[in-house]
Amino acid sequence: MSIYLGIDVGGSGIKGAPVDLEAGDFAAPRLRIPTPEKSTPSNVAAILGEIVDEFSGQIGDTSIGLTIPAPVVHGRVPFIANLNQKWAGLQADEYLSDKLGRKITLVNDADAAGLAEVHLGAAKGNNGLVILTTLGTGIGAAIIYRGVLIPNAELGHLELDGRDAETYAASSIKDKENISYEEWTTKRLQPYYKHVEMLFSPDLFVVGGGVSKDWDKFGHLLDLNTEIIPAKLRNRAGIIGAALAARDADEHPDLV
């Protein structure tokens, strides 16, 4: 079956849609429900149940893919910033599977976006080392080599010039400090990407996050040896990547 439900859990909204992985797009319009103010696992699970019920007729008994804004280590959330602290230390895949009565595949949100862009988006067909970065409140990152995800790459927290990179190079900092695209790109993004390039020698960079829609304002200012391109799937990437992760878990349960 090529249709899997992907759900993207964020600090402000929980969004889900069935994804036709052969077509590479949603099989029905997405459903968005605000994240509960008290975003405990039990409160979030109740919202997830509503989304599963909405699309249950389209997804059969397949696994459900779910993103979360935190590292995911074998289904466990070691720490979390943007949801209730009761998530920290939780074996969340087992907890949510028990609550929803379905197999749950849990994946970091940036990792899900990376999977989506490599398999169905801007980096489709690239079989080398692809690094996706999401420029937003912070800098999220995903590393995919020959189509396989290397999970939980926190490249936004690389130390550069004695600082945590995302504290001066994220697009939220550009907005907060009201600096121009030119200054942000040449003085902040350029040294960041040059450093990542030196460390990993990737075949391709993909730039996601909301600011990627303004690629024509800053992309040409980056001077790298590595090709760098904007993301294609944008705000659909998390849902599509979650669905891909669920399919992979069904097809290769020994690797989960």
Report all structural domains of the chain as residue ranges with CATH numbers, in order of start: 3-111+236-255 (3.30.420.40), 124-232 (3.30.420.40)
Q: What is the largest CA-CA distance in the chain?
A: 53
Which positions of the chain have pLDDT values less than 50? Answer: none
Q: What is the pLDDT of residue 193?
A: 98
Q: What is the pLDDT of residue 167?
A: 94
Contact assessment for residue 108 and residue 72, using Cβ atoms and an 8 Å cutoff: yes
Model pLDDT for residues 64-114, shown as the tens digit of each residue: 999 999 999 999 999 998 899 999 999 999 999 999 999 999 999 999 999
> Residue 159 burial by CB count (10 A; 0-12/13-18/19+): exposed, middle or buried?
exposed
pTM of the model: 0.91
What's the rounded Cα separation, in Å, for the pair 113 and 136?
13
Both tokens of 159, joined, read: 């130390």
